[in-house]
Structure 1
């Protein structure tokens, strides 16, 4: 199991957070355990928590049109999830399922919002670090999507991909 010191030192979410700021964040956080096979988040539902895995591993799964689920990635200790619905309340874009017994720490959105309102430095650092995490994920997704479009080999598909990418990065109108 990950200690509080390891959370501060090794979890990207808490990079540059001081021990005092971490105490404040953990004061409002909740610990929870899930057994193997438990669904921690369900795609389409909406909760406002920022989750950090202390022990165990999970899979992020996306529903397919045929009703089955595709595993997108595996999460290990110190991984963070739930950030999209945490910072912009919306239904979860994927499910998170415990592959082993899992222990998490989660930060409730309401308390986090209050910390930000009060100017808590630790909360501000978490926001900044989340932007970094999401930027890394978007960069990986962009690379993967470009490789996928290119592998199709079709001029039409490549043109569709470039049109989508242009809209995504400029005007967001679909």
Structure 2
């Protein structure tokens, strides 16, 4: 999400970010340049989007959360908005049947284009993306963090940390 937001800023978009800690919100707002940053654990998604994107003005939504968070965001989408679904971390360990509202009415009402995002689909353009990303990093337009866990034996704990939001940036196991 942090990379997608930075690329969106490079392309001239207003960027609204959500994170699970005040530290992460400060990072995406102050260091990465997002226009808005909200702690989804402390701020109601609807309230935040009414402030940051009044009148249902979300054009694009990059989703790696899923669940009720996404259901709420879809109600704030602009007509003909675009949604890229890259993950659904809120549902990865949930074996229950969904109990919340399904988002199909929001998708239909706003005539949204919803597409799954798998990196392999874009493999033919890998070099182009790699070249652009490297240039943006060299120019200081893209910043990144790595959360390094030392030791193979700590891999299970590091993996569980992904679901608890313990990492900021890319999670790496150093052996």
- TM bin (shorter chain): under 0.3
TM-score, normalised relative to structure 1: 0.22
Greater length-normalized contact order (CA 8 Å, ≥ 6 residues apart): 1
Determine which structure has more spread, i.e. the larger CA radius of gyration: 1
TM-score, normalised relative to structure 2: 0.22
